[in-house]
Amino acid sequence: MKNNSPVFYAGRHYFVLVVLVLLFASLVGRSAWLQIYNQEFLLDEGSQRQLRTIQTPAYRGTITDRFGTPLAISTPVDSVWVNPQLVLLDQDGLKKVTKSLGVNYKNTLNRLKQRANKEFVFIKRRVEPELAQKAVQGVDGVYLQREYNRFYPAGEVVSHVLGFTDIDNVGREGLELIYQDWLKAKAGKRQILRNRKGDVVENISQVVAARSGKDLQTSIDMRLQYITYRSLAKAIRHHDATSGSAVILDALSGEILAIANLPSYNPNQRKNKSAAARRNRAVTDVFEPGSTIKPFTIAAALDRKTFSKKSVINTAPGYMKVSGYPIRDFRNYGSLDLAGILRKSSNVGASKVALSMKPEQLWQAFKDYGFGEPSGISFPASSSGYFSHYSDWQPLDHATMAFGYGVSASTLQLARSYSVFANNGEIQPVSLLKLDEPQQTTRVMKPATAKMVLNMMEQVVGPKGTAQQAAIEGYRVAGKTGTVKKSAAGGYLENTYTSVFAGIVPVSNPRLIMAVMIDEPKMNGYYGGQVAAPVFKDVLTHALRLMNISPDNLTASLQVAKSTGQIL
């Protein structure tokens, strides 16, 4: 009978025991060797697993007015981002964060699930730092990234000049776009150590230094900008107009002191920026300047000696025909000298003056005065206007050019052209940046002619002129009104007008030039002298005082004061 009890192999037992002891000893020895002889290597390997390279933010350059008043600044904000691999493990925490930030929890959760393999997803950009800190507190996998938000203190008042930036601080309109390379910031890079919760525990090194953008100083005087915007808005409301624009130039330097447009928009609000509201109408929109071009017609004739200061032109019976088409005055003015043509704004008289010159002479003169030429600033969608070549003119075109039909210009172009009269016959570039040195000017008119026409335009603002509402007490003012029927396909619209005024003050030593355009006034008048001229007076009355420009017509002021009993 066999014995089936297990056989004990003592040798096998001891062999297994010895192997286990040797394995254990080797592990202990390896651990001791790593801890004693390779400690730095292990620490470095551990650090590498938590080492991250992050961006160091930098701010975009500040835009200021000519006196350093901030117009566009960068303010610190925090953007909230998450690591989906961590935050999806704490959906209650995610719900708290989304509620604090005012974002939709379900949409955010679905988006994070779709990006579950990512390590970086924004939840909300540009949050106020205090709110962002509270929102992420105590929630794993949710972090903050410092950024800068663009803020425009003046809001809609100067928005068309500045433009705005997108969410990544890239310029999209105005000066923000034109000077993007100058203003933009360059973020730096630095290496950090994070703990398992994602908190920064140590700054290791700066890899690339951050570089903030350069500041930009504009030529804008915000005191005048506010006044211009306010007065333009008031006029548009009073006359129920569609839109309007106004420009003030420094006659000495060509700097743009104010440039206002309506309708406008608030660049701090990223929504509801319609294309119509964003348009800088003073630069992009063109219109037929109407009678504001008559001083240039007179000047061209004087320079070419087809007429003289003493010339008299018969405008009776108040109309004339050119190629069978009538050109009319408001009424029969009879015989007028050149100053009378401007004072009464006679279309017949201006047409006869224009027809005394060859088409190429009138065309070249207007080109020299800036019509059909670039305004002088590099601005998005800026227009050079429309001014056809004289070879395309018919006799009627030749005649109507004299009073501003068949040629178009922007408000800025019109203001720049009037600088010829303010600068003794020289035209100069305009600038939206503050200048340290005078700009190069170009002679386009004889000094005597410029002075003569400037004095003629002073009569337009006088008691017998069409722009009495542009007169400023204590100052000699020169200017010209324009009332233009708007064109449409097939001809001109009835009862639809553009009201214009351009002027210079003070006449004895020109310092300020202003052009005003108000489109489609529907109430309380439509003539340039009724609608646009009062804006000129309102704005420049304040401007002259703010700029400490001395009066040059005290005699007239004293006479008015005596006649009203203010001085006995």
Q: How far is the first Cα of the chain from the last one, in angstroms, to the nearest whole number?
A: 158
Tell me what pLDDT residue 72 has: 97
Counting residues of the chain whose pLDDT is more than 70, the rounded percentage is: 88
**Are 171 and 313 members of one domain?**
no
Mean of the pLDDT values across residues 306-312? 94
Q: Choose the catalytic residue: 79, 245, 291, 417.
A: 291
Tell me what pLDDT residue 102 has: 92
**Per-residue pLDDT tens digits for 338-386:** 999 999 999 999 999 999 999 999 999 999 999 999 887 888 888 888 9
Residue 162: name the closest of 280, 317, 315, 327 by CA. 280
Tell me the backbone φ, ψ of residue 176, rounded to 5 degrees.
-60, -35
Average pLDDT, the chain: 89
Could you tell me whether strands 200-208 and 442-443 are parallel, antiparallel, or unpaired per DSSP bridges? unpaired
- The first and second tokens of residue 298, run together, are 């007179």
**Are 163 and 301 members of one domain?**
no
Distance separating alpha carbons of residues 538 and 548, to the nearest angstrom: 16
**Per-residue pLDDT tens digits for 481-502:** 999 999 877 778 888 999 999 9
**Are 181 and 255 members of one domain?**
no
User: What residues does 487 pair with on adjacent strands?
Assistant: 492
Instruction: Check whether 454 has a pLDDT greater than 80.
Output: yes
Distance separating alpha carbons of residues 480 and 282, to the nearest angstrom: 18
In a domain, 514, yes or no: yes
Could you tell me the CATH number of the domain that includes residue 206?
A: 3.90.1310.10
In a domain, 113, yes or no: no
In a domain, 168, yes or no: yes
Tell me the backbone φ, ψ of residue 514, rounded to 5 degrees.
-140, 135
Residue 291 bears catalytic tag: yes
111, with CB counted inside 10 A (0-12, 13-18, 19+), is middle
Residue with tokens 């525990």: 201
Distance separating alpha carbons of residues 510 and 451, to the nearest angstrom: 11
In a domain, 290, yes or no: yes
105, with CB counted inside 10 A (0-12, 13-18, 19+), is middle
Give 463's pLDDT tier (boundaries 50, 70, 90): very high
**Per-residue pLDDT tens digits for 289-299:** 999 999 999 99
Tell me what pLDDT residue 456 has: 97
Tell me what pLDDT residue 272 has: 59
**Are 209 and 297 members of one domain?**
no
In a domain, 22, yes or no: no
Chain centroid offset of residue 484 CA = 27
Give 202's pLDDT tier (boundaries 50, 70, 90): low
**Per-residue pLDDT tens digits for 142-162:** 888 888 889 999 999 999 999
Q: Any idea what DSSP says for residue 50?
A: T
**Are 133 and 183 members of one domain?**
yes
- Number of domains making up the chain: 2
Who contacts 107 (Cβ-Cβ below 8 Å, separation ≥6)? none
Tell me what pLDDT residue 23 has: 80
**Angle formed at CA 307 by CA 302 and CA 310, multiple of 5 degrees:** 100
Tell me what pLDDT residue 195 has: 58
Tell me what pLDDT residue 36 has: 67
In a domain, 222, yes or no: no
Q: What's the half-sphere exposure (Cβ side, CA atoms, 13 Å) at 215? A: 11
Tell me what pLDDT residue 561 has: 47
**Are 243 and 166 members of one domain?**
no
**Are 305 and 400 members of one domain?**
yes
Who contacts 401 (Cβ-Cβ below 8 Å, separation ≥6)? 293, 297, 354, 362, 366, 393, 407
**Per-residue pLDDT tens digits for 69-122:** 999 999 888 889 898 988 888 888 899 999 999 999 999 999 999 988 888 899
Mean of the pLDDT values across residues 469-481? 97
Instruction: Check whether 133 has a pLDDT greater than 70.
Output: yes
Distance separating alpha carbons of residues 84 and 123, to the nearest angstrom: 11
Count CB-CB contacts under 10 A for residue 133: 12
Domain assignment of residue 185, given as a range: 53-106+118-217
Residue 419: name the closest of 410, 428, 431 by CA. 428
Q: What's the half-sphere exposure (Cβ side, CA atoms, 13 Å) at 363? A: 15
Q: Any idea what DSSP says for residue 145?
A: E
**Are 250 and 148 members of one domain?**
no
Residue 497: name the closest of 529, 458, 528, 473 by CA. 528
Mean of the pLDDT values across residues 392-418? 96
Instruction: Check whether 568 has a pLDDT greater than 50.
Output: no
Q: Any idea what DSSP says for residue 186?
A: B
In a domain, 11, yes or no: no
**Per-residue pLDDT tens digits for 205-247:** 666 777 899 999 999 999 999 999 999 999 999 999 999 999 9
Coil, strand or helix: which one is 466? coil
- Higher pLDDT among residues 24 and 78, named by residue: 78
**Are 83 and 152 members of one domain?**
yes
Model's pTM, two decimal places? 0.83
| 163 dihedral zone (left: phi>0; alpha: psi -120 to 50; beta) | left
Lowest-confidence pick of 177-181, 200-204, 514-518 = 200-204
Mean of the pLDDT values across residues 170-198? 81
Who contacts 431 (Cβ-Cβ below 8 Å, separation ≥6)? 219, 253, 254, 255, 256, 376, 377, 439
Lowest-confidence pick of 132-136, 241-245, 554-558 = 554-558
- The first and second tokens of residue 450, run together, are 């410029």
Instruction: Check whether 451 has a pLDDT greater than 90.
Output: yes
Tell me what pLDDT residue 380 has: 82
Instruction: Check whether 413 has a pLDDT greater than 70.
Output: yes
**Angle formed at CA 200 by CA 195 and CA 203, multiple of 5 degrees:** 120
E-strand stretches of 83-120: none
- Higher pLDDT among residues 87 and 329, named by residue: 329
**Are 203 and 100 members of one domain?**
yes
Distance separating alpha carbons of residues 46 and 38, to the nearest angstrom: 13
Lowest-confidence pick of 124-138, 151-165, 423-437 = 124-138
DSSP for 373-436 reads S--SS--TT----EE--GGG--HHHHHHGGGTSSEEB-HHHHHHHHHHHHTTTEE---BSB--S
In a domain, 48, yes or no: no
Could you tell me the CATH number of the domain that includes residue 247?
A: 3.40.710.10
Q: Are 89 and 139 in contact (CB under 8 A)?
A: no
**Are 91 and 156 members of one domain?**
yes
**Per-residue pLDDT tens digits for 46-59:** 554 466 666 677 88
**Per-residue pLDDT tens digits for 243-270:** 999 999 999 999 999 999 999 999 998 6
Instruction: Check whether 567 has a pLDDT greater than 80.
Output: no
**Are 151 and 248 members of one domain?**
no
Who contacts 375 (Cβ-Cβ below 8 Å, separation ≥6)? 283, 382, 383, 384, 410, 412, 413, 416, 430
Instruction: Check whether 516 has a pLDDT greater than 50.
Output: yes
Count CB-CB contacts under 10 A for residue 21: 10
